[in-house]
Structure 1
Amino acid sequence: MQIQPYLFFDGRCDEALNFYKTALGAKVEMLMRFKEAPPQTPGEGCKGPMPDGEKVMHASFKVGDATIMASDGMAQGKPEFKGISLSITAKDDAEAKRFFDALSDGGKVQQPLMKTFFASSFGMVADKFGVGWMVVAMP
């Protein structure tokens, strides 16, 4: 069994994918736009108007060995990510700093990156989309 995070960027998915490519070296493996979906039969599918055809219906990207899925969802406003954080383990303190600094760009630091009793580097940040990240490097 495998559990994968699925992030809804509410209209900012393309921007998020480009950000994660730069910040974390993410590789987009699959991307489907709403315009690629077959026409809906009345009474089937999502309720309400479909998002602009250029918006991302579904994407899958890799960060290291992890697969993360993403979408624009119904693209109706500001994305919100509450009660969840993604954890990324860096190979060393230098990589942890690089990830943390990149994710902090335009975001909000919640716990500065620092040495703790359980890690040589640990920090928490909400990136510019509001996605919570815990960055850790083990001693």
Structure 2
Amino acid sequence: MATLNTYLNFNGNTEQAFDFYKAVFGGEFLVLQRYGEVEGAEGMSEEEKNKIMHVSLPIANTVLMGTDMPASMPKVLFGTNISLSIGAESEEEAKLIFDGLAVGGKITMPLEKTFWGAFFGMVTDQFGLHWMVNYDYPD
């Protein structure tokens, strides 16, 4: 079966963002590659060579991936057209993840029991990404 992973583009703070996500979700990076480590980086500034070309962090049954957009590409514009949904295995795990993502961010819907039988909340993290944290109660 095909897999679906989320790929995030940043304007120079990918490493900071992924260190934050690693602290929230745990685990280790599968890949962390800088522009300066690849062929063709000779014309880049030292600052750009140090930026992240590709990083990947396994979370649950998927992989969160990201990059710093190089100066030659248009700047990334963040909007409200995407949310990352995390399915927790317990209320406790949902609370830990939600509280972690809320550090420096903004809670848009508090984590609470819902009428549809879930423990659910929404938060925008300090990097402007929208997260939905959900735990479905057993029937």
**Taking every aligned residue pair, what percent have the same amino acid on both sides?**
37
TM-score scaled by length of structure 2: 0.85
Q: 1:54 aligns with which of 38, 50, 57?
A: 50
TM-score scaled by length of structure 1: 0.85
> 1:25-45: CA deviations, max 9, x gaps?
142100110101212799xxx
Match of 2:98 in 1: 100
> Which ranges of structure 1 fall in alignment gaps of 5 or more residues?
43-48
Match of 1:34 in 2: 35
1:67, 1:120 → 2: CA distance? 24
Match of 1:45 in 2: none
Which moves more between the two structures, 60-69 or 96-105?
A: 60-69
Q: 1:113 aligns with which of 106, 111, 135?
A: 111
The amino acid of 2:103's aligned partner reads: D
Q: Are 1:70 and 2:66 an aligned pair?
A: yes
Q: Are 1:129 and 2:124 an aligned pair?
A: no
Alpha-carbon deviation of 1:120?
3.4
The verdict on how the C-alpha distance between 1:58 and 1:138 changes in structure 2, with shifts beyond 3 A counting, is: same
Q: How many residues align?
A: 133
Match of 1:82 in 2: 80
Name the Cα RMSD after superposition.
2.4
The amino acid of 2:56's aligned partner reads: S
> Which ranges of structure 2 fall in alignment gaps of 5 or more residues?
none
Asked if structure 2 preserves the Cα contact closer than 8 Å seen for 1:58 and 1:70, the reply is: yes
